[in-house]
Structure 1
């Protein structure tokens, strides 16, 4: 072999060596010790537990009753999606779809175990109150958590699977598995769309329309807004509307405790905006103030009075008026009397709508009327429930349902002539002033507030405690008001001493005459304004 042949042979062999695949190309690299450890099921389970339990503790601390505002709800959806994704990656399995929600729910419920109220305590589906509490409390919260968390878990597990396939660690699936995967991905995409829509839905805030002139532009000098009023360490929302910010101010207090009447005021109170700056207060824990619930220990009768006085002072200062008008409906009429009794110099007149005098006495009459009706109509189930519960007051507010929740059955009347109709306060829960979260949660939070505050009203009886007021008093009472309220209101009215007083009967109304016959109520308020203006 010549030197040239030897050189050619050496070059050829070197070329073969250079072109030969390296060991790393012919066989997958050995996983590192850390990778092996992270791949162990118990590590993934521990990581999932840490992430979901940590999220549950944070949520239980910040929102023990679940999200109460659009921001809290949107954050809940986003966080649940992220936590689900982290769980799917950690477990490397679609089992995260089940495991992550279970960890969250158990931890969240244990952490908030001491929180009080029908929406957060024992699940009771044996009554309308119990069903409302469950659906608007746990049901809504679970919806915001579970669907995004499950979607996140699917995406996280799918991400890990795609990484394995990319590294050649997973063999090709047979055709039937590919079909199943395709269908699963379609379901995942659909769930993703639902989560996006859910996030958009809960993020929408409430708003109130401007008061406009004939040309459709905002009326100069008018006011139409939500104001946040500082009352100690809380902020309460007040809807303020009027055609002129120089008009007399009217503060309206809703019933309940726990009620919100932004819808009723918008649907049926527009005429009042002609002559008044109408300030509709959402009391602590209600309506647009529902996120001001905690701590529950702040729910006291004294704080309810102080809150309303703080709002009164805000309105006086803002609109430059020494005294304002005070209107309260149902529980709001109780609060109104207490305000007028304590600080009469702040108010020009008090108007009580569906006036309450003694909650305890009224409830006992309702109980007796319901029991008599049940027996006379042969409703053995209702009679047995009432007899088992005994007469009020009750420590479990669900017991009030058969006693006072049957009012329309025991004392029916024709609602068709009235503006509000048979829907009454329910028809006002879905106006644009409420965010979507508030629309869903209003009824449930009403029960929580009621449970906190109503037991503290049992010793009130104006026939003994408030027999005189230093400002003019007007009572608006429906002809078909239930005897448990009407008889006591008339009795108190007769003994009440005031600079002037009037009891106006609304002929086709029951407990809510200002909404049932709004034109007649506006006429009454025009007379009140004329009688009391300086």
Structure 2
């Protein structure tokens, strides 16, 4: 009996401990640590904030970090739709913070902006663009800038191009990584490429799955990621020496910038937001709809990027009319060069800024 009572007490204590830890996690507020110098001390004149801004009638989360509050502003637009990049930019964005005020935005329905009570009718492409414009205007006002550097990744590159097209007065330069051009055509190519790879490699299970659903488009948007990302050639490749594996999903959620509640909402928000927004991208094709941009355009393409994205990006950029059109191919990157080779990307962005202000680039010929 004594043993039984002891075991019950131990179980009660352990269970109570779990509850306490869970409550503590739920109660822990999100925070971001100061930007520190090489000596490990906070940098004087830096900025490190997690703020909530009223954008488009809804509170949306923004992380702002930089070693110098007077540095040029870089607005990062994450992919998805539904992705969140606060953790990614904490792990891979520190070098950028030396030269820029880096603003990472959790878009409507994602991360710290994943309000589950938000009505679905607000999840539209037009609203996302309006949100991006409103945020950019706010950043220009707050930091007394004529414009910001817009960096778009994957879906964020779609939004970034539309922002640069609609409001070039707010954009100093546009930079694309994982550049999207035509979501519909990309999906068709990736389906064909994945099916061909599955047949060549003898993956009969994947062949059967692909043949069962047929080529896109699909009524169920959640078929896309499961069917079109099965090719390991686009997932497994060499990266830069400074690549941090935690910068990718889902490990990028495990940072202090999210509370436990926000981490849980982020996982659900990715699925919900993707399902709502992805079908709205089917009608976009920059080859026809964006023949001209009135801002400098710089795009980094990874050697291991899926051809369905990379080939269309090069085709669009070859015909694009813009003040500057720069395309670089990096041999240790795939769909996310800014994460795969973060130090190189920071140097690349420093070059972009140097060109923008008319000074000598920091590095040539990369």
TM superposition score normalised by structure 1: 0.63
Say whether the 8 Å CA contact 1:352–1:476 is kept in structure 2: yes
Q: 1:292 to 1:302 in 2, by over 3 A?
A: farther
- Of the structure 1 ranges 455-464 and 225-234, higher mean CA displacement relative to structure 2 is found in 225-234
Q: 1:532 to 1:387 in 2, by over 3 A?
A: same
Larger Rg: 1
Tell me which protein shows more helix as a share of its residues.
Answer: 1
Q: 1:196 to 1:423 in 2, by over 3 A?
A: closer
* Structure 2 partner of 1:25: none
Number of residues of Structure 1 aligned to a counterpart in Structure 2: 357
- 1:398 and 2:222 equivalent? yes
Instruction: Describe the superposition over 1:3-24 as per-residue Cα deviations: whole angstroms up to 9, x where unpaired.
Output: xxxxxxxxxxxxxxxxxxxxxx
DSSP-derived class of the 1:219 partner:
coil
* Structure 2 partner of 1:420: 243
- 1:491 and 2:315 equivalent? yes
Listed as ranges, the matches of 1:252-267 within 5 Å are 252-267=76-91
Q: 1:347 to 1:376 in 2, by over 3 A?
A: same
Q: 1:533 to 1:375 in 2, by over 3 A?
A: same
Q: 1:187 to 1:220 in 2, by over 3 A?
A: closer
* Structure 1 partner of 2:276: 452
Listed as ranges, the matches of 1:7-156 within 5 Å are none
Listed as ranges, the matches of 1:256-295 within 5 Å are 256-291=80-115, 294-295=118-119
Q: 1:423 to 1:277 in 2, by over 3 A?
A: closer
- 1:305 and 2:129 equivalent? yes
Q: 1:380 to 1:421 in 2, by over 3 A?
A: farther
DSSP-derived class of the 2:173 partner:
strand
Task: List alignment gaps of at least 5 residues for structure 2.
Answer: 359-366
- 1:373 and 2:191 equivalent? no
Say whether the 8 Å CA contact 1:418–1:509 is kept in structure 2: no
DSSP-derived class of the 1:271 partner:
helix
TM superposition score normalised by structure 2: 0.91
Q: 1:293 to 1:279 in 2, by over 3 A?
A: farther
- 1:325 and 2:149 equivalent? yes
Say whether the 8 Å CA contact 1:419–1:515 is kept in structure 2: no
CA RMSD of aligned residues (A): 2.2
Shift of 1:213: 4.7
Q: 1:183 to 1:422 in 2, by over 3 A?
A: closer
Listed as ranges, the matches of 1:458-497 within 5 Å are 458-497=282-321
> Counterparts of 1:491 and 1:215 in 2: how far apart (Å)?
46
Instruction: Describe the superposition over 1:235-284 as per-residue Cα deviations: whole angstroms up to 9, x where unpaired.
Output: 11111011111111111100100111112211121111111111011101
* Structure 2 partner of 1:219: 43
- 1:237 and 2:61 equivalent? yes
Task: List alignment gaps of at least 5 residues for structure 1.
Answer: 1-175
Shift of 1:371: 1.2
* Structure 2 partner of 1:386: 210
Q: 1:378 to 1:432 in 2, by over 3 A?
A: same
> Counterparts of 1:412 and 1:325 in 2: how far apart (Å)?
28
DSSP-derived class of the 1:477 partner:
strand
Instruction: Describe the superposition over 1:163-206 as per-residue Cα deviations: whole angstroms up to 9, x where unpaired.
Output: xxxxxxxxxxxxx8x99788666644543332222211222222
> Counterparts of 1:422 and 1:183 in 2: how far apart (Å)?
41
Q: 1:421 to 1:215 in 2, by over 3 A?
A: closer
Say whether the 8 Å CA contact 2:91–2:247 is kept in structure 1: no
Say whether the 8 Å CA contact 1:369–1:410 is kept in structure 2: no
* Structure 2 partner of 1:69: none
Q: 1:346 to 1:372 in 2, by over 3 A?
A: same
Say whether the 8 Å CA contact 2:92–2:247 is kept in structure 1: no
* Structure 1 partner of 2:28: 204
